[in-house]
Structure 1
């Protein structure tokens, strides 16, 4: 490995002005990434990561190399080496797999999802979730209603087609056939253009997860938790970072809670875990009346001093709970965790590209795990591949933007202590 101009060795060399920087520098990082409800296989996620990594290079003046993908039953892994003129970080990326769980549910045709989806809708409705969504984030409440409004519209248009056919031909068989053909075509169009099937499966899975959990996922998370707990006792990496995006943030809370339980049974010093929930759907599950076990897990994670938790949100993303008070809405005791950061997706994306995606709710939501065109307070790749700890970045309202010069050089004179005690909510 090439020598570092700034880093852990600075203490022994006696360089002035770098001690505070040393405390937040990361030379080696292991990242556990848990994506949202997305059936993309590991190969597609890896290719997307490699493509978006190029944006990180352009925005921050960095250079990166990436290894080949290695896939196992629980994880998909690859190595990244990222560097600037005076810094270098080695990263182990570990994708926590649950694409197989999502794919197995998504093989059935759209029409077969209708009854389970309606059952899931009423499950969340009766459990008080919709009212709670309206109180915590009306935008998310609209997202909850959205797929079921599509179904209602499809039903209304199909009935209208049947009535028109009956009035025109006076034939009940023809009107029934007209209803079925209209419903099939409209469902197909909604599936293709509005992601209807994926949305319905998302809510079906969430209802099952709240009520019964998922044994396959539970066993997988337990094995990964044991691996993380073992690694917190080793000096192989400087930072262990867990990133949960969308519904993946729910699984991340579950994973961290399992790590904590394992460590409780293994007395000894344990290093801090860093946890970023980005565009998270934690309240989606937590506000369901039956999710008492999950709410308890949130309480344990938020109160554990060995876990640094930052929650990133954006007003323009309808699929996260912008403006919500996480612990307050869940009736949990207040703590200093998570540190909440409200970010602007507009400031992450090039002005010429933003108009093309701002009306696409899915692309806006996925920007939390994509590369930025411009330097911004939140940057997924700076958090996962950069030389600064996730905690240091999250505790600053400006992220890492003040820590690098225009050429991507880490600024040695940057005051790393300025924001280290900053906690709470940052307003855009």
Structure 2
């Protein structure tokens, strides 16, 4: 049975005055666990905004060249049509250098860490809880572990078989100790030889992602914690001098967790302006349900009770790599909160946003469907990434009363082939 997705918190803060159109917005975007984030998200943004502008008639659209300063990649966007124009400063906060460092770890070591993480998840009951939240994501989690066992077993069998064949050819039998050694060498050799293929089927990505989340949930990633502190310093400095009507922190996939942690730490620094927090296809339970992730649950609880943030979380049942129906208020053992002001939870309803042939083609491609959160719709809908981040409505207003953007009158929709691969 599908879990109920839509949720409006009973104590959602009411605006002091009717919101006016957003003329200036500052967006901080947190990418997920991606070794190519510094290259991928600028290109994806520009390409998909171009598609969006043609499909939904966005006549005013101007994007500046990207500028990089340390771990921040930024550009500006002017977007609008008759009646409104919004100027947006878009900053991508990068931590892909940490991910690349994980990717440089020997595959065999990553697989050993994965095995330790899976066993820990079994002992603590975490894996069963994740399966209960979304069996599809549970399969995504187990896929690299099962592949690891298969590859190790196949490599060991090949090594032993080769040794037995050589021993038989020499007129003898293979001693037990030699069989063990050849089996181990065969397993290692197969893993090394298969590494390029494993990268093509995203196995290294899934292994290192799981290991990172396991390490982070146990408090074993000081490099990530240091980067979060640097991000909080950067955002606080921007808040001190911004004239934006809305400041929005956006996170997709694993980056949704980073966005939640960052927002909580910025707000904890003291009084200040209200922030908008937008999480897309989030994987919060991967870390938050670990019994040792007490700090994260405390940060989530602080956002749940806060009037200084409007947190909107979009989920998609069609996306294997999120948790549709997950509600941190109901599904996490949070510290007691005096009120429930967040998050607003809605379904992205991808089936209603995509042309039927496109939907059919990508339904069984988990990574492609997962990235739909950041891509142009085919059809008008309540979930609209570019209306959320570049449009005139505040996040709160957009979620509660979205002004749907009609398709461009008199212009045929782009063919399905216009959808590029991810």
- TM-score of the superposed pair, with normalisation by structure 2: 0.82
Give CA deviations for 1:252-304 in whole Å, capped at 9, x if unaligned.
Answer: 1111111111124xxxxx33211111100111110111101110100001110
Partner of 1:51: 47
CA distance in 2, matches of 1:188, 1:226: 39
How much does 1:228 deviate?
A: 3.2
Bigger mean CA offset, 286-295 vs 153-162: 153-162
Partner of 1:190: 198
How much does 1:371 deviate?
A: 2.2
Superposed counterparts of 1:113-262, under 5 Å: 113-162=110-159, 164-165=161-162, 169-170=166-167, 172=174, 176=183, 179-192=187-200, 194-232=201-239, 236-262=243-269
Q: What secondary structure is seen at the aligned counterpart in 1 of 2:92?
A: strand
Q: Is the 8 A contact 1:308 1:391 kept in 2?
A: yes
Superposed counterparts of 1:290-305, under 5 Å: 290-305=292-307
How much does 1:367 deviate?
A: 1.3
Partner of 1:4: none
| Structure 1 residues 375 and 59, CA gap change in structure 2 (3 angstroms) | farther
How much does 1:164 deviate?
A: 4.7
Q: Is the 8 A contact 2:107 2:191 kept in 1?
A: no
Q: Unaligned 5+ residue runs, structure 2?
A: 1-15, 169-173, 410-422
CA distance in 2, matches of 1:379, 1:239: 17
Bigger mean CA offset, 36-45 vs 345-354: 345-354
Partner of 1:40: 36
- TM-score of the superposed pair, with normalisation by structure 1: 0.81
Cα RMSD after superposing both structures: 2.6
CA distance in 2, matches of 1:43, 1:87: 31
How much does 1:61 deviate?
A: 1.0
Q: Is the 8 A contact 1:206 1:285 kept in 2?
A: yes
| Structure 1 residues 232 and 41, CA gap change in structure 2 (3 angstroms) | closer
How much does 1:178 deviate?
A: 5.2
CA distance in 1, matches of 2:222, 2:73: 20
User: Are 1:23 and 2:19 an aligned pair?
Assistant: yes
Q: Is the 8 A contact 1:66 1:81 kept in 2?
A: yes
Partner of 2:323: 321
CA distance in 1, matches of 2:165, 2:380: 61
Partner of 1:106: 103
Question: Which of 365, 382, 385 is equivalent to 1:380?
Answer: 385
How much does 1:56 deviate?
A: 1.7
Partner of 1:307: 309
Q: Is the 8 A contact 2:152 2:188 kept in 1?
A: no
Partner of 2:414: none
Give CA deviations for 1:42-65 in whole Å, capped at 9, x if unaligned.
Answer: 233212211111122123211311
User: Are 1:276 and 2:272 an aligned pair?
Assistant: no
How much does 1:33 deviate?
A: 0.5
CA distance in 2, matches of 1:364, 1:24: 34
CA distance in 1, matches of 2:387, 2:99: 29
Q: What secondary structure is seen at the aligned counterpart in 2 of 1:294?
A: helix
How much does 1:87 deviate?
A: 1.6
Question: Which of 73, 76, 99 is equivalent to 1:76?
Answer: 73
- Aligned pair count reads 379
Q: Is the 8 A contact 1:272 1:307 kept in 2?
A: yes
